[in-house]
């Protein structure tokens, strides 16, 4: 039994070798979804711990991970605890001044520091940033109706590059600044895509709470393993892609258009989904590719999806 266990361990390591070699030095932007993170129960803590171990392992074998995190459910929970009710317009939360304050406190003060500290359990590797730090994320108001909901208008990734050069792991929360210094709450998918583009990342991975892009959102077995940009656009147009999946897919398409070689949607609730995606032949989640089908700039992609 022991020897077959050892054989299996060796096999796993050998399977990882070509991936580790291929991705050595690669910038990989990982968007950690608020839903994949859970909202404070025990399983959420386990998921955060596993996520942190995966990111530190990536870092240890020579990749350059950059974490961008969400926190919508956590903001919702704190608004509830504070007895604040929200209005929604087209499914988007109206962010008045008070809601913005809660979003800042929860994203920057709580979610960001929880992720940073989970990473730093393994060694002094992670540094937390908000989009307001060193001019990282420039934003503007999306629409007057939505209040302080922002869209990304520019990214200055200098601070992120500096941290990567110091061999640190940047962890970014998605509050951005307008030209006058006004804070805006921004969808984390949009920020992840914009940061990946600004860094010319080799890979952008969205960790979410579904197995990937689904042909039928109510059927987890309807996973679409590979989708071209054109098909993705028509799936948005016909309503197959809705709600929180829209900014993800829009972000994927934007990243691909701007030179990010590989873009994946992966189920963050699956333990160590990141390692499976990066270092094994297992096909996990959905890969989004350009219309010519060519997304693999970093060598032959083997059986990876």
Residue 62 DSSP class: T
C-alpha distances out from residue 263 to 61, 220, 293, 300, Å? 21, 20, 12, 15
Quick check: 208 and 267 in contact, CB under 8 A? yes
Shortest reach from residue 110's CB to ligand ADP, in Å:
16
Q: Judged by CB under 6 A, which stretch of 11-19, 138-146, 156-164, 241-249 contacts ligand ADP?
A: 241-249
Tell which one of 213, 232, 266, 275 touches ligand ADP (CB under 6 A). 213
Q: Which is nearer to ligand ADP, 36 or 63 (CB)?
A: 36
Q: Which of the residues 18 through 77 are near ligand ADP (CB under 6 A)?
A: 33-36, 70, 72
Q: Which of the residues 270 through 299 are near ligand ADP (CB under 6 A)?
A: none
With b for 16 or more beta-carbon neighbours within 10 A and e for fewer, the 293-302 pattern comes to eebeeeeeee
- Residues in Cβ contact with 245 at an 8 Å cutoff, skipping those fewer than 6 apart: 210, 213, 217
Shortest reach from residue 189's CB to ligand ADP, in Å:
6
Quick check: 246 and 92 in contact, CB under 8 A? no
Give me the 187-206 binding string for ligand ADP, x by CB under 6 A, dash otherwise. Answer: --x-----------------
244 near ligand ADP, rule: CB under 6 A:
yes
Q: Which one of Mg ion, ligand ADP, none interacts with residue 217, CB within 5 to 8 A by kind? A: ligand ADP
Tell which one of 38, 131, 212, 244 touches Mg ion (CB under 5 A). 244
C-alpha distances out from residue 123 to 119, 177, 222, Å? 7, 31, 40
Tell which one of 240, 250, 256, 277 touches ligand ADP (CB under 6 A). 240
**Which residue minimizes CB distance to Mg ion?**
244
Element (H, E) at 253: helix 245-257
Quick check: 286 and 223 in contact, CB under 8 A? yes
Binding site for Mg ion (CB under 5 A): 244
């Amino acid at each position: 039994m022991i020897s077959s266990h050892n054989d299996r361990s060796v096999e796993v390591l050998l399977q990882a070798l070509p991936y580790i070699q291929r991705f050595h030095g690669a910038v990989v932007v990982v968007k950690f979804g608020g839903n994949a993170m859970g909202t404070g129960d025990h399983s959420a803590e386990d998921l955060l711990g596993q996520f942190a171990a995966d990111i530190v392992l990536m870092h240890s074998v020579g990749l350059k991970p950059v974490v961008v995190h969400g926190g919508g459910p956590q903001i919702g929970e704190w608004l509830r605890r504070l007895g604040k009710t929200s209005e929604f317009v087209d499914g988007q939360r109206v962010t008045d001044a008070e809601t913005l304050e809660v979003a800042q406190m929860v994203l920057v003060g709580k979610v960001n520091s929880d992720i940073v500290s989970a990473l730093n359990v393994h060694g002094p590797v992670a540094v937390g940033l908000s989009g307001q730090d060193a001019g990282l994320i420039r934003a503007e108001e999306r629409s007057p109706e939505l209040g302080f909901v922002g869209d990304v208008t520019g990214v200055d990734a200098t601070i992120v590059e500096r941290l990567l050069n110091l061999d640190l792991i940047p962890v970014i929360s998605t509050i951005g600044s307008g030209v006058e210094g006004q804070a805006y709450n921004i969808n984390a998918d949009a920020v992840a895509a914009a940061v990946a583009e600004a860094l010319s990342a080799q890979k952008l991975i969205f960790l979410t709470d579904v197995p990937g892009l689904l042909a039928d959102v109510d059927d987890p077995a309807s996973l679409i393993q590979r989708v071209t940009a054109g098909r993705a656009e028509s799936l948005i147009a016909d309503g197959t892609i809705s709600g929180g999946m829209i900014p993800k897919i829009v972000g994927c398409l934007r990243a691909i258009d701007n030179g990010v070689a590989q873009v994946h949607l992966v189920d963050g609730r699956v333990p160590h989904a990141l390692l499976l995606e990066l270092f094994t032949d297992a096909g996990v989640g959905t890969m989004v590719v350009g219309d010519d089908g060519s997304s693999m700039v970093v060598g032959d992609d083997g059986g990876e999806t």
